[in-house]
Each structure stands twice: as structure tokens, then as C-alpha cells.
Chain A
Amino acid sequence: MIAPISTVSVAVPAPDEAEIRRYCACPKGVDDLLTECLSEMHELSYRVSFRVFPVTRTEPGLDLGFAVTDSKDLQKALEGCDRVLLFAATVGLLPDRLIAKYNRVCPAKALLVQAIGTERVEALCDAFCEEQKENYAAEGAILRPRFSPGYGDLPLALQREVFAALDCPRQLGITLNESLLMTPSKSVTALAGIKTKEHFG
């Protein structure tokens, strides 16, 4: 039987200012404004839902247990893996609310909040994957880098299957719109291959 969906809160390191500045293409300046935006965003929720599926090779691609795909890039990312960790992560609606607000009354802040939100959800994914990597290392397996629908030739349309498999609306409050974009916008779905010891080499 396939394991149930787990939903957890993750401890995430403090914001990385250099990374935030990279996202908004602003290497220096606006220090006060950035501090102000950061303080408005210190109460984010960091939540992840995840589930592990067996991976089987079929012609012409992969059976992921919740979907089949012929994506070559995903096959490369999951090379040698017998299982896949599917997850969805979100920092919640606060960034969207602030962006909607500042978009109308202070575009400079909208831009910074946007960058902070992106840095935060990426940091959440990093922290979650790092945690999982250690867990798998303990059982002698390797967790490979994450790969998201929309990367390379993996179609964004896979989001529909991902959402069904992780029950995202119910577990995390993430919804998918008609253009297959997620709200809260600071959300990520991804797959990471798991390589068990006997599959090494």
C-alpha cells in the first residue's frame, strides 16, 4: 500500500538578504524598506505535504504511482531511483495579500515582498529536502535534487495529478487555477528521486 500523505511544519532558517536582493535585482540600497517588508513577513507558516511513490519504468517513460510521464528530463533526474518523494510546500497567503495591497499603494514594496516570498518558499524547500536527505541517508538511501512540473520537458499539466495525489487544497490550502498556477503563489510542488542502496551503481 502507498503511504498516506504527511503534512508537517518545517523550521526554516532566517531570510537570506543576498538571495532576496538577487530575486529583485537590487544588489544595494533600500535598506529601510527591505527591513520594513521583512518585519511584515516574519509570521509566515512553513508547511509541506509529502508522499512517497514507487517508480517503475514503462515504455516509453515512467510510472510514478500517481501519474505516467514520458518526460526525458524527469527520467534523467530520477535515474537509478526506485522511489520518488513528491511534495508540495507553501508559505501561505500572507505574501499574496501583501503583494495585492502594495501593488496598489506602494509598488516598490510589492516588488520586495515578492522577492522575499520567493526566497522564503525556496528556503522552505531546501530545509525540507535537507531534512529528508538526512532521514534517507540514515536508512542508506540517497535523495536526489528536486525537480518541478514545468522544468525542462516535464509539462506543467502534471500539476493536476500532483494536486490529486497530495490533496493540496485540503492539506495545505493550495489551489490550482485555470492556467495551472498555484495560489498561494509562494508555493512549490516538486519530485525528488530516492535511490535505495541495492540500486546504487
Chain B
Amino acid sequence: MTYLEFLKDNRVIFDGGTGTLLQKAGLPVGQATECWNLTHPEALVSIHRAYFDAGCNVVTANTFGLNPLKYSEEDVRQGVFAAIENVRRAAKESCGKQEKFAALDIGPSGRLLAPLGDLDFEDAVSAFSCVVRAGVAAGADLILIETMNDAYETKAALLAAKEASTLPVVVSNAYGQDGRLMSGASPDVMVALLEAMGADAIGVNCSLGPKALAPIVERYLELCSVPVLCMPNAGLPRVENGETVFDVSEEDFAKEMAALTQQGVRLLGGCCGTTPEYIRAMIAAVKDLPVQPIEKKQTTVITSATRAVSFDDVPVLIGERINPTGKKRLKQALAENDLAYLLNEGLTQQEKGAQVLDVNVGAPEIDEKTMLPSLACELQAVCDLPLQLDTADPVAMEKALRRYNGKALVNSVSGKASSMDAIFPLVQKYGGAVIALTLDENGIPATAEARVEIARRILKRAGEYGIEKKDIIFDPLTMTVSADNQAAAVTLDALRTIRNDLGCHTSLGVSNVSFGLPGRPAINAQFFTLALENGLSAAIMNPYSQEMMSAYYTWRLLRGKDENCLSYLHFADRNEPQAAAQSANTPATLQEAIERGLKSQASSLTDAALTSCAPLELVQEQIIPALNAVGERFEAKKVFLPQLLMSAEAAGCAFEKIKQAMQGSETPQTGCKIILATVKGDIHDIGKNIVKLLLENYGFAVQDLGRDVAPEKILEAVQRENAPLAGLSALMTTTVPAMEETIRLLHEKAPWCRVVVGGAVLTQDYAAKIGADHYAKDAMETVRFAQTI
């Protein structure tokens, strides 16, 4: 019988801890357990056999820490082969009559993935793939990915398992006492992500004892449509008479596991501190309990790395602002890779109440295949809302979906065969919920019935790809009423039928309805309300529109979808016009606002000033003097770095308004081109970012290459831009050699370029020693030096 056939109708017993048992057998402290696979096979076979003798169905091979980030690929291969062979031998030698399987065990890589860590997602996938390939070749029956405390790394491991094998995969995460993974993901996030990617069973292990894990396991049982696994620790360790003991006894462990089994747990085992005796007691406690059937859950959920959004009673707002169509300023930001603008656009929509962000970078001069995945990653680093990846290019969609941290909303598929055959395989592989447009090869049908018919066809085709109904959200398409006076009525009819008869969720881009008419906001808001009344589950809309937000919150209030009116009150409160406190605290001029670091005032005062003053005049007469004044006060130690930064940020807000006023034309650069980077091996970038901000304020054209940048890449940028100045930052003594190497390369291959350096470990002397042209002790000094170039 295969493992999957067995799992179908049976409870599956996994083994318990190995580490403590190996230490009892003589493994020295600090030595990795996997070192013993080849050198001490007897010790491992004996432990595995004890677990099979106790009645386990699955024994995990001792491969938890084996991966090519720690060992050579050949060592990984040999280690995996030996480990699986040890389990096979134990199965053969055991007296147990039960079904027996060998699991390839995959633990965390030991490194944190970018952006917070330094391990690239694809490098993690290939490291795990190497282990998976070895496991397949060695004859493992299944793969157990366990003790993962980061959602992104879990995704990398599962993706590797799916790409490099056809074996069944069980995925288990380690939660902290706060009920979240170390990286912040909740059970809701993990269940949505892992089920959508096709894990065969999912659950939790390690970190806590069975009682403490129970609330998390119960949440899994509420959410999961696949079997749930639970492998707790035997509580916490302590020393008694020189022996390590755990504070949950075998009997208590068995009792708690039986209780969880009654609630529906199907895969049971133990983690740290558990032994064959614990497992034996657990088996005795559960053997007469009925095997619980597993119910399919119908909730539609999408997630970011930490936040789950479910489509239920309350409609979901999808912010539409990150889309260059008709937005000059956004198009410019994309063209210039102006991340600050783009990320702010995301964060502001969140502040205004958006629950999901649509991300569309489709413009003639933009390469979507690079821009969509990179902007999605950048947004995920600053904003915890799930993203709706919006592109017509399936290649860009795949790249973005692959790297996405969580279960994304895919925008979109249509009833065209070519579209379904391009998009559904991606959703099947990477997980996701998908917006399905009710149009096909013949265009958009004029009647509601025909649109619903397309919806049925899409559902059928999705089913063939194993994509469930709950993950299809239909968009019955908003057409313009000025072109066809039945347009809105047809959309609403289709919407209602899809919601009521097909039982599917729906989404609409609302604002198209009013195209070509005056008073658009009022029409849009009214149509939005009508759509909500007809069963709309989500809207792609402008969260900055007062009318739309008002329609949304009012509808919820009146429809009994706002307990104690809290959401409405919160909304109303946010929109209360600020009490016009014209006190001494309000800055009178833009210059004052910048000097005091008041961002919103700097914005509004710029707007006001621009009505009577030319943009460049404003820069010369208010902004530059303000920056100079603050810079001088900083140098005189009258204000400090945070204040200097606040002023720089306020100036940034003013510049933003000026850019808009100049209608996307090139902003004048008064200063030279400057290349900035944190050198190879160094991942600190706060200091470099501060320097960048100030340089930009002073009109320099800064190109920021980021952190951990190789010397060749810096040289390449200097040559391409013909930049007369490069700024390098290093914060660790260990990365100063990389800085020295970069300087050497620049002086040799780009002798026109001068190099200014800074960072915590550098001094004037040190900088001179490694050949820098200038050492800047702080950001202001970099500005001063740049002004001399």
C-alpha cells in the first residue's frame, strides 16, 4: 500500500524525538545528528526500530539538518541515502506488523530568506531541491517538511518538493507561544498557503507541549480540507539528577493526544523529548477511537506573509492605485524606479482602508517580467496587505506568483481557452485565488445569461486543473452606461446569478460604469451600493475616493455587517475635518514647515504656494534655504540626525508636489550623478539611505544600487552613468576588504570617478589606507563633499 492510500482511511502514527536519544547514545553536544548517519548506523537503526516496534507507521530519516547550505552536495546525497537505508533496515528488523513508511525529513535551512535575511528565495528552493532529489533516489515514501518557522521558507521547501518529486508531502510548522510563526504568520495564513500549493497533509510540531499547542491545532482543524498533523514536544526540558527530563509525562502526553485525535487530528507523533515509550502510550490511547472524516471547507482566503483576508460576509476592498493606466505620476515613478513613491502609494491605500492592493505595472516602456515580481517583493517588505497581481503577461505572472510570500489574488483569467491554459497551471502550482472575467473568444456577451454560461465553463475547466470553486472569484465586467443604457443592469443581473446560483464570490472594477459622464464619483458610489446589494464580494476601487468609501461603510452599517457601528464610526472619525487650530503651532511658510520636519504641512503649503509661485522659484527661495538652515544647525550640534531626517523627508514631500506640478516632466537636477551602494557582504543600509535622502534633497541624481553589491556591479553603474562620484558604505570590519577592492577597481577602470566612503567602522586614517578619495563622518559631510565635485 502506498502512503497516500494508507492516509485515505487511516490514522497515521509518526515517530518521536531523535536528538536526545542520540545524545544518550553518545553523540557529543553541539555535534549535528546527521553526522552519525554514515558513521554510527547501528545507533540510528536501533532508535528507528524502537519506534517501529512501538507501532509507528512513519519513521523520519535523520536528514533534518542535511542541506547543501551546510554540506557539499555529495555529502548531502550520501547522508540522505544512508539515513533512508537506516530506516529501511529498521523497518525490516522490526517485529511490528503495521504499515511502515520512510519519510525524508526536511528542516529549516538555518538561514533567513531575503528581504529580512540574506538567502535568496531561489537559492533556498534549489538547496531544498537537492535534498528532495537525493530522497527520491534513495527511495523515500514521503517527504516531511517540519519545524519551519518562516512562511516564505516553508513555501520554498514545498515548491522544491513539488518540483523535484511526485512524492506525497506533509508540511508542519513550529509556532511560538503567541500562536504565530517567528516570521509572523498565523495558522490561517499557513493553511491557505499550503493547501493551495497542494500539500497532502499539514500541521504543527515542536516548540510546545500538546496542551499548549491545542489552540493552534484546533484552528487548523477548523480551516483545513486536508488531514491535520500534530507532533508536540514532551513539554519543556529540565535537569534532574544530571538527567534531562521533560515536564509532560508519557500518560499526560497520550491523554492530550487522544483528545486532539477526537477533535479530528489524523497524523500523530512527537517532537523534542518524546521517546518510543511516549509513542507507545499514545497509540494505546487512540487505538480504539474512530478515524474522523475530513470535511472540505469552502472559505476563500488570500494572504500576505502575515495576514489572511477571507471573503465572507463583509465585502473586500481592493485598492486600485498602483496601476499606471491614466496616471502620469505613477508611470513616471515606474519608469524611474522611484520605489519610495510606489511604496507610499501602497501604504496610503492601506491607511485609507484598502484590504488588498492591486499591483499593475503594465506600461509601454516597462518590462513587466522584472518589474512586477520586484515591486511585489518590495511592497511585501513594507506592507502586510495581500496583493492582487495584475498582468496580462503569463510570464510576468509566473515570476511574480513564484516569489510571492503567501497566497496571492491572481488578476486575471478569462473564458478564453488560451487564457485558462496559461493561468490555471500557475494557480495550481503556486496557489492563489483567481479573478475570472466572464468573456471569451467572442468578446463580452451582451446578456447576463451568456456571462453566467462562461462562468460555468471557467469553473469546469478550473476543476480539471484541481482548482476549487472557492478559489475562483468572478468579475462579470462593468460596462459603460453612456454607451449602452442596459449595461449596468446586465452586470448586476450576472453578478446576482453567479453569487446565488453558482455560489461563487464576485468582484468588479466599479468606476468604468460612469466613463464619459459628468459627476462620475456619485454614479460610481451609487453603482457600488447596487452591486453590494446584488452580492458583490470584492471591489477593485479607489480608496482615496470619499464617495466610494462612504458608500461602502454606509452599506455595511445599514446591512447589519458592522457590529456596534465600529467600522463606520472609525471611518467617520478619520474624515472629520481637522479642527482648524490656527495656533502658533501651525507653520506659516513652507520653509518653516521643512525646518520643523512637518511632512503633511510641507505638502499642503507647497500646494498653496504653487498657485502663485513658479516651482523652481519655490525650490530656490524656500526649500533650499530651509535645508541649508537645518544642515547648519546639525553641523553645530543644535539639532540631531532624526530632526535632520524629518526635515529631509518634509522637503521630499514638497519635492513630490513640485514634481506633480511640473506634470511629470524631468525634474531639474542641479547636482551631479552619484552612485551609492553598501559593499559586498554587508547588509546594513540605514546609513546609506540617509545619505541618499539628503543628496536627493540637494538636487543630486542619486542611483542607489542597494546593499551587498559586488564591486563589478558598482563599476558597471559608474561607467554607464559616467558618474563623477561614488559613495560606498560598510558597517563591519569584515566587509572593509570588499570596499577596498571596489575602490581599487573604480580607480583602475573608471579613473574619473572619485570615491567617498562612510560607515561605523571607518575612520579618516582607515579610509585613506584603503584608497578612498574622501571620508565623510556623516551624511551632511557627504553632501558638502559632493557639492565640491
Contacts and interface: CB of A to CB of B under 8 A. Distances in A.
Contact of B115 (A45, A100, A170, A178): A100
A163 B750 CA distance: 43
Interface string B268-300: 000000000000000000000000000000000
Q: Which of B30, B344, B685 has the most CB of A within 10 A?
A: B30
A65 interface: yes
A169 B207 CA distance: 12
B371 to A, nearest CB: 16
Given A24-B642, A110-B686, A114-B686, A4 B112 contact: no
Contact of B182 (A26, A93, A114): A93
B689 A179 contact: no
Interface stretch (A27-35, A55-63, A121-129, A190-198): A27-35
A173 B182 CA distance: 6
Nearest to B147: A170
A183 B116 CA distance: 7
Contact of B693 (A1, A6, A107, A184): A107
A135 interface: no
B649 to A, nearest CB: 6
Interface string B1-40: 0000000000000000000100000000111100000000
Contact of A96 (B116, B150, B649): B116
A93 B184 contact: yes
A24 B239 contact: no
A9 B177 contact: yes
Contact of A4 (B107, B237, B343, B639): B237
A79 interface: no
B212 interface: no
A108 B683 contact: no
B347 interface: yes
B464 interface: no
Nearest to A167: B19
A164 interface: yes
Contacts of A5: 237
Interface residues of B, number: 63
Contact of A104 (B107, B118, B236, B382): B382
Contact of B118 (A28, A108, A177): A177
A111 B642 contact: yes
Contacts of A26: 640-643
A105 B685 contact: no
Contacts of A7: 236
Interface string B706-735: 000000000000000000000000001011
Given A66-B29, A111-B686, A114-B686, A104 B110 contact: no
A105 B174 CA distance: 32
Contacts of B646: 30, 33, 108
Contact of A6 (B112, B147, B237): B237
Contacts of A75: none
A169 B689 contact: no
B654 to A, nearest CB: 15
Interface in A59-84: 65-67
A173 B175 CA distance: 10
Interface string B115-148: 1111100000000000000000000000000010
Contacts of A18: none
Contact of A183 (B117, B178, B645): B117
Interface residues of A, number: 55
A118 to B, nearest CB: 12
A93 B340 contact: no
Contacts of B237: 4-6
Contact of A29 (B347, B642, B734): B642
B326 interface: no
Interface in B671-719: 681-683, 685-686, 689-690, 693
A140 B178 CA distance: 36
Interface string B505-547: 0000000000000000000000000000000000000000000
A25 interface: yes
Contacts of B685: 103
Contacts of B244: 1, 3-4
B689 A103 contact: yes
A105 B149 contact: no
A101 B682 contact: no
Contacts of B381: 100-101, 104
B321 to A, nearest CB: 15
Contacts of A163: 110
Given A107-B690, A156-B734, A45 B176 contact: yes
Interface in B237-272: 237-239, 242-244
Contact of B239 (A3, A53, A93): A3
A180 B734 CA distance: 10
Contact of B238 (A4, A53, A111, A156): A4
A157 B525 CA distance: 62
Contacts of A156: 734
Interface string B38-62: 0000000000000000000000000
A105 B340 contact: yes
Contacts of B344: 105
Interface in A9-30: 9, 24-30
12 contacts: A3-B244, A7-B236, A25-B640, A93-B116, A93-B182, A103-B685, A104-B343, A105-B344, A107-B645, A111-B686, A163-B110, A178-B118
CB-CB nearest 4 A-B residue pairs: A173-B182, A108-B645, A26-B640, A4-B237
Interface of A: 1-7, 9, 24-30, 33, 45, 53, 65-67, 92-93, 96-97, 99-101, 103-108, 110-112, 114, 156, 161, 163-165, 169-170, 173, 175-181, 183-184
Given A2-B29, A5-B237, A107-B648, 9 more contacts: A1-B242, A66-B29, A93-B182, A101-B381, A111-B642, A112-B642, A175-B111, A179-B683, A184-B116
